Amino acid sequence: MTSLIDYKAGPEKVLVGGLCRDFTDSTLITGNGHSMGALMLPVSGAVVVSSSQGHWVVGTGNVLWIAPYTAYKLRMLGKVRLRSLYLNPHYIEGAPERSAMLAATPLIRELICEAAMASDRQTDRRTRSLIAALLEEFRYSSAGMAKFRAPRDPRLVRICTHIQQHLDDPKTLQEWAFELRCDPRTLHRLFVQELGMSFIQWRLHIRLQTAMEWLLAGKPVFDVAFDLGYQNQSAFTTMFRRNLGMAPTEFARASQGA
């Protein structure tokens, strides 16, 4: 579903545009950069983003701001329901100048989804009110700190906490189900319902995000691969390149250069 407010007046007069789309796992999208900035919110799944201003793994607990004129590439982790909101910086006060990943509060999520689904019958006044409320919520909340979406079910809390503390643990969902004395299908359903993605996709999400943070901190690629549970550096490099479009060494060099 696509919506543009005041689209008949020409691109320079467009206030806001909305895009609601669903993607299959591993879908690739390239954006050449345009005059409008974009807020990207995955309602389910996660999105790996590579751009000239940074690299991120955006989960359901986060929203990514892509600044105007920024080229980017997206890769979907799992089945992704993506809600994108395009903002014209000439008409929007307070929009960030550089791309950044932010934490998505429940109100921020609802405002983005509502504005992205706005129809041509809605007035500019209502749309401006939604955007003003969205930007105010970014300023008011602690949304400047990106975070992972937190599970609620005690079983998921136990699994996710363990994975974040032991990133090299190869334990499967079936093994977790046996340990917790429940059906693997129950755990799978809980992951999808509460975290927006499967167990395997969520663990990959955590490992990718951590790998990027470690590489940015200057940790050697071999140590990163070993600490994330990969048997060798080659396997880690293959995973990293498949998701970010570059080798870990290339990512580290580009980040240090930036």
pLDDT digits (tens, 9 = 90+) for 26-49: 899 998 877 888 999 999 989 999
- Of residues 64 and 117, the one with the higher pLDDT is 64
Cβ proximity of 14 and 6 under 8 Å: yes
CA distance 167 to 131: 39
CA distance 256 to 234: 22
Single-letter amino acid, residue 87: L
* Residue in 152, 108, 101 with CA at minimum distance from that of residue 133: 108
CATH number of 154-195+198-257: 1.10.10.60
Claim: this prediction has a pTM higher than 0.85 = no
Would you call 41 helix, strand, or coil by DSSP?
A: strand
CA distance 8 to 3: 12
Would you call 178 helix, strand, or coil by DSSP?
A: helix
Report the CATH fold assignment for 2-140. Jelly Rolls (2.60.120)
Domain ranges of the chain: 2-140, 154-195+198-257
pLDDT digits (tens, 9 = 90+) for 46-59: 999 988 888 898 98
Q: 115 pLDDT exceeds 80? A: yes
